[in-house]
Amino acid sequence: MRKFILRYLIPRVLQFLTIIFIGITVTFIIPRLSPTDPVEAQISMMMARGETVDPNSIASMRAALTDLYGLSGSPVQQYFAFWGRLLRGDLGPSLANFPTPVSQMIGQAMPYTLSLLITAVLISWVFGNLFGALSSYYPKNKALNVIELLGQAVRPIPYYIVAMVLLVVFAFFIPILPFSGAYPVGTHPSWTLDFALIYLWHSILPAATLVLIGFGGWFIGMKSLTSNIISEDYVIYAETTGMKESKILTQYIMRNGLLPQLTGLAMSIGTVFSGALIMEIVFGFPGLGMLTMAAVFRNDYSMIMGIAIYSIIGVAVAIFIMDLIYPLFDPRVRYQ
């Protein structure tokens, strides 16, 4: 156990913290290279709405906003103040929805994004790897060949095209599914079974689109990996001993083929934040994608920074967790 902690766990914890530190530091630097001044943009928005403010009030407001957004002092002072607020969970107020805190708005939108995208990624990963391994082991099976053909046909199609096709077919021509939103207009979100069923019903189309797009990639990747594994000596030996095909497939072929796919799964789960944008725009989902789009159009760089920070932490956590469970799948790591 001590050897595991010293040689495996501690280096990965340090790597995890380093990734977060570098990523958040870059996130701090990039917005400050923008030519847009968020304080002046906020004051200009107030003036554009026709609000009359005397010059002394504008000067006081400019000083207050500069301090509120963490822009007072030198860049080094801003950097340390930024980390101080971040460690307290304070991402500042949203510029476009002042004075609502950024963390509050992200907290409201995140459940929609995580529940939909992580579920869709896991479903596509499981079925893509399963059918990919089966197709490699049973190359003459006609049903699997048809599934492979459909997966390869859908995979290169842009996500928004597949989304629009499903939307037109199942929401207009055959109107059996809702076409927009995570719940009907007038419904109040709550942690109840009734709302969960409504949300699941509205999630079918966007989830199906994500599964169809992701399935082909996992299928092809797994088939390519297992095609090489099938010709290995240990697999041939297992077949000559009369071992059951199901055991050969699961314990000898799929288990070895899943190792690279696990790394891909960690990256896919970690990057659900970036994949939310197009999906939520097409289907009108009130998640992080819609929040990001609104923040970009309204120069709300506090919100952009907040979402970027959550995305960095999400990727780092997903890879860290996968590193910890990797020895369960690969005995070579345990031996090392």
Nearest to 315 by CA among 16, 1, 56: 16
- pTM comes to 0.76
pLDDT in tens, 295-327: 777 777 778 888 888 888 877 887 788 777 777
Tokens 């970009």 belong to residue? 296
State phi, psi for 91 to the nearest 5 degrees.
Answer: -100, 5
pLDDT in tens, 39-72: 666 667 666 665 555 666 667 666 766 666 666 6
Cα dist. 151→128, 135, 145, 216 in Å? 9, 12, 10, 4
User: 97 falls in which pLDDT band (50, 70, 90)?
Assistant: confident
Q: What is the pLDDT of residue 34?
A: 67
Q: What is the pLDDT of residue 190?
A: 75
CA distance 204 to 177: 8
At 22, the amino acid letter reads I
List the domain boundaries for the chain: 36-90, 102-335
To 10 degrees, the CA torsion angle through 18, 22, 24, 25?
140
Cβ atoms of residues 96 and 294 within 8 Å: yes
Q: Is the pLDDT of residue 329 over 80?
A: no
CATH code of the region 102-335:
1.10.3720.10
**What average pLDDT score do residues 110-129 get?**
85
Q: What is the pLDDT of residue 144?
A: 83
Cβ atoms of residues 262 and 129 within 8 Å: no
CA distance 216 to 213: 6
DSSP-derived 3-state class of residue 160:
helix
Q: What is the pLDDT of residue 68?
A: 63
Q: What is the pLDDT of residue 181?
A: 74
Q: How many CB atoms lie within 10 A of CB 177?
A: 16
User: 333 falls in which pLDDT band (50, 70, 90)?
Assistant: low
Q: Which range is least confidently modeled, 5-9, 221-225, 321-325?
A: 5-9
Q: How many CB atoms lie within 10 A of CB 246?
A: 8
